[in-house]
């Protein structure tokens, strides 16, 4: 994105990662990597979801970690999602 577009409200400089991000099943949860491009690097982010009482619950996360490679960002995003499942389980869906 050009300097002028960012300056005059054309966007934040963040771009979504290309379609086809990786998704895994882990301990009854679905973990989906959703890294996005920010300032020339890929930001670690993802979604952890699970069906609870007939309703799909989602928890979105973004971490400060950035990577030059999209593949690295996807791998770490999935690892962070699995870590959240291990540490919090369904508690991450509580309000």
The pLDDT tens digits for 7-64 are 455 555 555 545 447 999 999 999 999 999 999 999 999 999 999 999 999 999 999 9
Structural tokens at position 9? 């409200």
* Measured distance CA(82)–CA(76) in Å, rounded: 10
Kindly report the pTM of this predicted structure.
0.79
* Count of C-beta atoms within a 10 Å radius of residue 5: 11
């Amino acid at each position: 994105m050009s300097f002028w577009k960012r300056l005059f409200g054309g966007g934040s400089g963040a771009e979504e990662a290309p379609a086809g991000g990786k998704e895994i099943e882990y301990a009854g949860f679905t973990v989906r990597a959703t890294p996005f491009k920010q300032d020339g690097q890929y930001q670690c982010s993802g979604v952890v979801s699970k069906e609870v009482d007939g309703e799909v619950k989602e928890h979105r996360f973004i971490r400060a970690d950035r990577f030059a490679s999209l593949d690295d960002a996807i791998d770490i995003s999935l690892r962070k999602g699995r870590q959240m499942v291990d540490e919090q389980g369904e508690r991450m869906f509580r309000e």
